[in-house]
Amino acid sequence: KAGVTQTPRYLIKTRGQQVTLSCSPISGHRSVSWYQQTPGQGLQFLFEYFSETQRNKGNFPGRFSGRQFSNSRSEMNVSTLELGDSALYLCASSLAIVGESTDTQYFGPGTRLTVL
Amino acid sequence: KQEVTQIPAALSVPEGENLVLNCSFTDSAIYNLQWFRQDPGKGLTSLLLIQSSQREQTSGRLNASLDKSSGRSTLYIAASQPGDSATYLCAVGGSGGGADGLTFGKGTHLIIQP
């Protein structure tokens, strides 16, 4: 069974641009969560989607948004990029909503975003 | 707001030693606790998941314990090997229906010397 895949793996953008990251969950998984990882803040929860609906959201500005498609694939968008948005963005999938099942989350390799 | 702390931040030990990694959390109302490992440039790999009603879980040379009332968990690694070198992350799932997703500690960077 294929794991969680994320594209692209690396991305370089300049301040003010916008970016879209993609995540394909494990087949059959309906929950997709996004996390930001930086050396200073560690791993922080961005949001979770389940059956095309945003179920939970972390404490990030509105520049960070996402969506989920009917095939459970998810995209994350960051508008008006800032230098501080440089990070590793990780996607995780699970069968059910985090906190409502005994299932673990399976993480993808991440997208490394650099903002210049 | 849940906060997760991991001690030590870094650890270097010779091969073969048994070692303990520590994790503490401020809000005991958790749904579960997970231990992950992260290799450089890669995503996270789930090692052990402990439900809030459980006290410990074991997988091979790994044993994780959970004391919810004191807000602590430990990951015990027996007979360490160089391949165990990685960053180990502790994460708690809140009982509020996952509203905060998983809350992670900043990790313990482990080096096993051959």
Which of B 20-49 lie inside 8 A of A, CB atoms?
Answer: 31-32, 34, 36, 41-46, 49
Phi, psi for residue A75 in degrees, rounded to 5: -125, 145
Query: Parallel, antiparallel, or unpaired: how do β-strands B4-7 and B30-38 relate?
Result: unpaired
CA gap A50, B44 in Å, rounded: 21
**A35 Cβ under 8 Å from any chain B Cβ:** yes
Local confidence pLDDT in tens for the 116 residues of chain A: 689 999 999 999 999 999 999 999 999 999 999 999 998 899 999 999 999 999 888 889 999 999 999 999 999 999 999 999 999 999 999 987 776 666 788 999 999 999 99
Question: Is A68:A74 a contact under the CB 8 Å cutoff?
Answer: yes
